[in-house]
Every structure is written in C-alpha cells, then in structure tokens.
Structure 1
Amino acid sequence: MNIFLLSVLFSLLFLFITLELIRRQKIAERYSLLWLILALIMLVSSFFPEWLNAASRLLHIYYAPSLLFFIGLIFSLLLIMHLTIVISKLQRQMTRMIQEVALLKAQKEGEEASYDRSSHRIG
C-alpha cells in the first residue's frame, strides 16, 4: 500500500472520529477546534505532499517528515496550554464555590442557633 494513500486514509479516519466525538457530545465544540484544525492539516498534507517539501525547504528543514514532527510538537504545546488555561479557570471557579457554600453554611448555622435560643426563652 502506498504511504500517501495510507496517510489520506488515516487523516480521513481521524477527521471522522473527531466529528463523531463532537456529534456525540464527548468533546465540547469549543475545545474541539484544535482537533479539527489538526485533522485538516493532516488531510491537506496527505493530499499535497509537495507542499510539505516546499514548506520544509522554505524553513530550511532538510528532512521534510521532521516538519511533521515539529507541527505535532507545536500542536501538543498549544493543546497543553489550552488545557492548562481551562483547568486554571475551573479551579478558580471551584474555590469560589467552596467559599460561597462555606459562607452559606455558616449563615444557616447562625440563623438556626439564634432560632434555638429564642425558642428556648419563650418556652
């Protein structure tokens, strides 16, 4: 089997899986943008391998497949940065929620304590 045909088939499979995960709501649409971009880059570079050679020559990369590794590394770093931002935001929201729940709990316990003291005085 030709490596270019295998590359096209793998790229199409990757794109299909990504779209299917989005459709089944396993991946949120806003987080899936990087995966779709990667799938499209893979598909374009599979259909037009001469673009990869031209881009590698332009960037003075002597071995064209190493450009793919570089693109993969950049993608991985972008994905890690994106996930770090999401996790940081969720952690701040969770801390805020915990503080609000603690304040509501303390307020409720204070109201119950004042109600208990006032009911004991009357009875």
Structure 2
Amino acid sequence: MDRVMVIGLLASFGALIFILELVRRQKLREDYSLLWLATAVVLLLLFVSRPLLDQLAALIGVVTYPPAALFAVAIFFVLAILLHFSTVLTKLTRENKRIAQQMAILQHELEQVRRSAD
C-alpha cells in the first residue's frame, strides 16, 4: 500500500469520525450529513479495497494511476453536496420571500385597524 493510499485512508476515516461527531453535537443536521457520510464511506471503501478501486478506474478510463480515480469520485460527491445545498437555499429563499410578503400584508392591515380605531 503506497503512501497516497495510507494518507487517503486516514483522511477518509478521520472525516467519517468528524462528521459523526458534528451530528452528535448537533452542529450538523442529520439530513445534511447523509451526503457527507456517503462520501466518506465510499472513499473509505475505495481506499481499503484496491481491486474495487482498480475496477472503478478502468470503468472511468483512468489507466495510468488508479488512485487518481479517487479525485473523480470526490469531485462527484462534492458536486452532489453543492447541488443539495443549492436546492435547500432555493427553498429557503422562497419561504423567506413568502414570509416577508405575509408580514407586509399583516403590517398594512394592522395600520388600517389602528387608523380606523382613532
């Protein structure tokens, strides 16, 4: 096992422990942690199983240095995480706009009630 594989194995295991600790301390919500956990587990499996890594590398066309396929896997998961966060952000933006509009309507109605009471 070469140095890159050992470092990657330690980094993946460390990331897995770190994510679980963040969830345990409630610093990271469980639904957001799922993609991070999946990333750490997949990378850990690929670092542990060299034949699986070699098959993946052959599948995506990396023939010179199979551990380079790990970067492709990591980039895929990072893009999935970014897409997930973008959808969450879009949903929150819509909800924020709707709440602001409702608040403006309620404020307007309150002002009308106060004027009619005077």
Report the TM-score, using the length of structure 1 for normalisation: 0.86
Contact 2:53 2:66 in 1 (8 A): yes
CA distance in 2, matches of 1:83, 1:12: 24
Listed one character per residue, the Cα deviations across residues 56-89 of structure 1 (whole Å, up to 9, x for unaligned) are 1233321312211111221121111111100000
In structure 2, the residue matched to 1:54 is 55
Letter aligned with residue 40 of structure 2:
A
Report the TM-score, using the length of structure 2 for normalisation: 0.89
Correspondences of 1:95-114 after superposition (within 5 Å):
95-114=97-116
Shift of 1:36: 0.3
Structure label with greater radius of gyration? 1
CA distance in 1, matches of 2:8, 2:45: 10
Letter aligned with residue 47 of structure 1:
V
Matched, 1:23 2:18: no
Residue ranges of structure 1 left out of the alignment (5+ in a row): 117-123
CA distance in 1, matches of 2:92, 2:29: 15
Alpha-carbon RMSD across the aligned residues, in angstroms, is 1.6
Residue ranges of structure 2 left out of the alignment (5+ in a row): none
Letter aligned with residue 68 of structure 2:
S
Shift of 1:42: 1.7
